[in-house]
Amino acid sequence: MKRDSAKGISRRKTLGTLAGGFIGASVAGLRTPSVHAQTSKAVRKPKILLMGLDSCQMAKIIEWAGQGKLPTFKKLMTQGSYGEFENIFRGMSVDSWAAYNTGVGPGQNNFFGSHPWTLYDRTAYQTSGINRVFRLHAATVPFMLAEAGVKVGLCGTAMSWPPERLKDGFMMSGKGAPGLGDSPDHKGFVYFTQARHRAASAMKMRISFAEGKASTVIKMKEMEIPLQLTLNPGDTVTVAYQDVTLTLKQGEWSKYVPISFPNGRGAIVKWRPERINTDEGDLQLYRYRLLQDPTAPERHEPIDPFFDGACAPTDRWTYPASLAREVYDAVGYYRTPNLPFEYDYSSFTAYVQEEQTLIEDCYDATREQDDIVLWLMKNKPWDFFWFSNMPYDRLNHNMTRIDGNSDYSEEYEAKYGGGKVMLEFTEFIDKELARILAQLPEDAYFMLISDHGWGPVKKNFEPNTWLMEQGLLFVKPEVEGKKRTYDTDDIDWSRTKAYTLWNPGIYINLKGREPKGIVEYPEYEKLRDLIIARLRELKDPEGQPYTNIADRAENIYKGDYYRYAGDVQFCGYRDASGIKVPGIKNDGLYQIDFGGFGRDGQVWDNPRRHFTGYHGNALTSFIAVGPGIKKNNDVSNGGHMMNVMPTIMHLYGIEPPPNFEGRIMYEIFESNSPYAKKAKAAANEG
């Protein structure tokens, strides 16, 4: 993969390339279309409903649909085209969604992984980990469509904050919107009496009951609101603060209720008692993270001095701004940032939530989102509507475990193992999808995409520990041998020549570029050659060759932003590379923990608790159904995720910009479809 020398194309320049006019089609998306209906109606814009299912693995969908467990998915594949596609190189959630969003990969849109591109860029760490404030340097496909006259709607799509001003359109930002804040007191919180509770200290509070009553507080930014908890006969608990009084039984979620803070900030929140035993004075009470109150006044204390000052107010997570209140008033709920439409991920990884709480919340979040999607479909004008589901991904990461995981046990296996959690949730998604498709206009298209797949992890490759073995990374003398595992703050930069961060790749500690760089430029290329050669010798824990690709970043990424990636890029046969390797087992069992140090000096370490599932082989999913789409058509061979957006633009009669890294998938169209005729003409011209 050689880097294209062409520069990235600006939004203004891109818009200048957009063609006018639309190819028309009007037949039932999920019914048998007639050839006459495809060609005889007046030219007009088609309707396309695009669903992003984060972590969906097409191989599992095909397997379970074939077993009769997913009737809606089976119908879609029977009546349309589908495939398991290659990903962008080492595609993770954020950079894969950003690639969909722009039609170009990280080398052009500047979106590498989940974190900032340099260790020392604290502003970037605060603001651009998973949103596009500073990072996304390319025009978005929704913006291009809107400027070309397509009415565009987005709901919960990732990396879409701040919201764009979509001409005649609407959007609700998804993953990456800052919300009320991301400090521990904003996140999910647990009040507990059991000494064994493992939540991070900043996200829990131990309480005790006297005569069935306990007085505690709700905290946010040094503010405290009195909270009264009462254990009742019959094992219920009463939660009381301000004007709110709730009596809940074990495992029962409350409705969304308000919290008003002294600085004028309003929030909404839910409560769930995870364990209650009145006789023993025992309680574990989970409080969902503080969500923005869509009914709150526009003028209030700043959420964050940076966001509400120099940048953009975090309240503005919808376009138009009034849409948040409108949806809330109509539907009665909305999981406002951070993060909408997914359970409280950061709280769960900090061991606040119990497994059953997580599972129930994922079901509730999906159901609520789909209610909102259906309301928007019915009440807002749209030609292109893109929504995404995140809980599917979160169940994978936290509930997919195999023997050897730190959270695995025989008890867990009996209750949740054998893929049971993901199968049952996929069956639920199947039913929800049928509910949405029943309301889809007859002449509309439906498409489904994913950012990667899912699967268990057996071992993590720890690059920083490996670099220590190679004599290229050193920790400070005062911590060496005194900690089970190190972190980036322990690195001795005066001796370190190479390291990894949270993003893919190995960085050279280059003098003049890195704040504490020591590698002179004449040594830079030799050092890259050395690391590449040694990576190619790497063996997995089974003694098999591990590395599939090890190369310079400029040979991997197209576009000038490759400079922000690690200097050396690599992937394995059995990790989340997103690359198909015929004849090679690619099960995702041996992942790369970028930025990681192995415990006790292990190069191959067990995955961390509550992150025991990952992206499998990171191949992506694709389904398309609608007028002129071939039926029962497997297009996996030669399929790539970057081909989706050029194909969508083609459906609207818009020429994809020349910097797009994918192609139009003419192979999904019937030969007599107007969308396939252009392919024939192009072939004849060639």
Residue 294 banded pLDDT, cuts 50, 70, 90: confident
Confidence band for 342, pLDDT divided at 50, 70 and 90: very low
Q: d(Cα 364, Cα 370) in Å, to the nearest integer? A: 10
Return the biggest CA–CA distance within the chain: 86
Q: How confident is the model at residue 74 (pLDDT cuts 50, 70, 90)?
A: very high
pLDDT band at 289 (very low <50, low <70, confident <90, very high): confident
pLDDT greater at residue 592 or residue 3: 592
Residue 445 vs residues 80, 441, 521, 623, 630: alpha-carbon distances, Å: 10, 9, 53, 10, 12
Q: CA–CA separation, 243 vs 258, rounded Å? A: 9
pLDDT of residue 358: 85
* Band (585; pLDDT cuts 50, 70, 90): confident
Q: Per this entry, what is the length of the chain?
A: 686
Residue 94 is predicted with a pLDDT of 84
Quote the CA–CA distance of 150 and 145 in Å, as a whole number.
5
Q: How many helical (H) and strand (E) elements, i.e. helices and strands, does the chain have?
A: 18, 29
CA distance 320 to 167: 10
SS (HEC) of 421-445: HHHHHHHHHHHHHHHHHCCCCCCCE
Distance of alpha carbon 269 from alpha carbon 604, whole angstroms: 40
The pLDDT value recorded for residue 38 is: 31
Q: Worst-scoring range by mean pLDDT, 235-244, 353-362, 438-447, 510-519?
A: 353-362
Q: Thinking of the domain 11-177+317-456+620-685, which architecture would CATH place it in?
A: 3-Layer(aba) Sandwich (3.40)
Give the mean pLDDT of 310-316: 59
What is the spatial distance between Cα 446 and Cα 48, in angstroms, rounded to a whole number?
6
% of the chain exceeding 90 in pLDDT:
57
405 with 606: CB under 8 angstroms?
yes
Least confident among 4-8, 341-345, 394-398, 443-447: 4-8
100-114, 131-145, 261-275, 370-384 — most confident range: 370-384
The structure tokens listed for 213 are: 């009553």
Q: What is the pLDDT of residue 123?
A: 44
Report in angstroms the alpha-carbon separations of 157 from 130, 174, 317, 383.
Answer: 12, 5, 12, 16
| Spatial separation of the C-alpha atoms in residues 173 and 167, rounded to whole Å | 16
What secondary structure letter does DSSP report for 89?
T
More confident site: 314 or 251: 251
Q: What is the mean pLDDT of residues 352-363?
A: 83
348 has pLDDT over 70: no
296: pLDDT strictly greater than 90:
no
The structure tokens listed for 62 are: 């095909």
Rounded mean pLDDT, 74-99: 94
- Based on the number of CB atoms within 10 Å of its own CB, is 68 exposed (0-12), middle (13-18) or buried (19 or more)? exposed
In this prediction, residue 409 has a pLDDT band, given cuts at 50, 70 and 90, of confident
Task: Give the C-alpha separation, 380 to 584, whole Å.
Answer: 48
* pLDDT score at 140: 93
Q: Which residues contact 414 (CB under 8 A, 6 or more apart)?
A: none
Model pLDDT, residue 26 = 29
One-letter amino acid for residue 575 of the chain: D
Domain boundaries, the chain: 11-177+317-456+620-685, 184-292, 459-606
Report pTM. 0.88
**How does pLDDT run across 436-487, given as a tens digit for each residue?**
999 999 899 999 999 999 998 999 999 999 999 999 999 999 999 999 999 9
DSSP assignment, residue 586? -
In angstroms, rounded to a whole number, what is the distance separating the alpha carbons of residues 328 and 308? 23
Q: Is residue 294 reached through a cis peptide bond, with omega within 30 degrees of 0 on the bond before it? A: no
Q: Is 205 helix (H, G, I), strand (E, B) or coil?
A: strand
Here the tokens at position 360 are 């129930």
Q: Mean pLDDT across the stretch 161-182?
A: 82
Question: How confident is the model over 616-627, as pLDDT tens digits?
Answer: 899 999 999 999
Is residue 48 a contact partner of residue 445, using CB atoms and an 8 Å limit?
yes
Residue written as token pair 């089976």: 74
For position 410, what pLDDT does the model report? 86
Confidence of residue 337 (pLDDT cuts 50, 70, 90): very low
- Looking at residue 131, its pLDDT comes to 65
What is the predicted pLDDT for the residue at 680? 54
The pLDDT confidence band at residue 567, using thresholds 50, 70 and 90, is very high
User: What mean pLDDT is predicted for residues 619-644?
Assistant: 97
pLDDT surpasses 60 at 340: no
Q: Is the pLDDT of residue 155 over 90?
A: yes
